[in-house]
Amino acid sequence: MQKTRKSYYGAAIAAFSIWGLFSFALKPLKVYASIDILFYRVFFAASMLLFYAYILRSKKMKENHQRFNLLTVKQKKRTIYLTLFGGALLTGNWFVFIFVINQVSIKAAAYAYLVCPILTTLIAYFVLKEKLLKNQWVAIGISILSIIILAIYNFKDLLFSMIVAVSYSLYLVSQRKNIYVDKLPILTYQMVFSAFILLPFYPTFSAPLPTESLFYILIALIAVMFTIIPLLLNLYAIEGLPSATVGILLYLNPILNFVVAIIFFDEKTTFSQLVSYSLVALSIAVFNQHLFKKKQVEI
């Protein structure tokens, strides 16, 4: 049992660490348009997921189809709607994230995922009626102050950061209600739906077919290493860890993004950004204060 629990932790840490290093694969593709990177990332990932789900996990997919057929009409409609809505949110989130990494700054992308867990909790409060503790309301207030400071001095960074954060937060909240089918078929159909969304735009908005082998190597790497593998690891971790634990581990992503941005890509940090990011760090500590107290009591 202990070994299994460690594997859940390992899966969550691995997933968020991989996403935190995403810029290493994206930056070499900076000369390509964000929409082209998105096209090929989704097309590659959808094809690979279909192969994985229906060839390597065909028995599991068949069981889920049987489970879906046993649902009521209302449950079927809800599952379909939430799956397609999630696919649309992922498509938008990925496009803006790629654009932010390559055309704005890695720090702006990192800020988005610093705010994301707290923003997700706030949306869940209004949409899912989940309760918030006093310290969590204080943390939300500190985050709002951080957003105001960033808006005054770095509105462009804030705008794109919030689009990334809101789209992913809405995805997380919506998928909490998508409970009638396992996550593998849901993720597979979301990826396929994303491909169908993008397909009509491909002939008009895509650049000429890339000829450099490095492009396809990096796209394949992004599709497998930075899309399918961390998503599957994340789904596995969610099955065995409390949401609060997963939420804390999520901060590995933006922390690694900041480190990569400053050390490897020499991005400069303004004073207003430093203050804003520090306030978010403070809000994270305040937001999770009750969890640390609980651990101390248990010890």
pLDDT value of residue 41: 94
pLDDT value of residue 293: 61
Angle between helices 183-198 and 229-240 (to 10 degrees): 150
**Domain that residue 141 falls in:** 2-298
257-296 pLDDT, tens digit per residue, is 888 888 888 877 777 778 877 887 787 778 767 665 655 4
Site of tokens 């009521």: 72
Tokens for 120, please give them: 């997700």
* Sign of CA pseudo-dihedral 167, 18, 46, 121: negative
Number of C-alpha atoms within 13 angstroms, CB side, residue 173? 21
Tokens for 44, please give them: 């590659």
Separation in Å, CA 178 to CA 12, 51, 78, 117: 20, 23, 8, 19
Tokens for 296, please give them: 């101390």
| Distance in angstroms (rounded) separating the CA atoms of residues 87 and 84 | 5
Q: Number of structural domains, the chain?
A: 1
Site of tokens 């597979």: 188
pTM: 0.83
134-149 pLDDT, tens digit per residue, is 887 888 888 888 888 8
257 C-beta neighbours (distance < 10 Å), count: 25
| Distance in angstroms (rounded) separating the CA atoms of residues 116 and 16 | 13
pLDDT value of residue 292: 59
In the predicted model, residues of the chain with pLDDT beneath 50 are 1, 296-299
Q: Which of 140, 129, 152 is nearest to 270 (CA)?
A: 152
DSSP 206: P
Per-position DSSP letters for 177-193, written without gaps between them: T--SS-HHHHHHHHHHH
Contact 197, 91 (CB under 8 A): yes
| Distance in angstroms (rounded) separating the CA atoms of residues 107 and 100 | 9
pLDDT value of residue 245: 63
| Distance in angstroms (rounded) separating the CA atoms of residues 188 and 270 | 41
H/E stretch holding 69 reads helix 58-69
Backbone region of residue 6 per phi and psi (left: phi > 0; alpha: psi in -120 to 50; beta: other values):
alpha
pLDDT value of residue 78: 94
Separation in Å, CA 99 to CA 37, 48, 74, 205, 229: 9, 24, 38, 15, 22
72 C-beta neighbours (distance < 10 Å), count: 9
| Distance in angstroms (rounded) separating the CA atoms of residues 212 and 205 | 19
- Work out the angle at residue 9's Cα, subtended by the Cα atoms of residues 182 and 190, and round it to the nearest 5 degrees: 30
pLDDT value of residue 1: 46
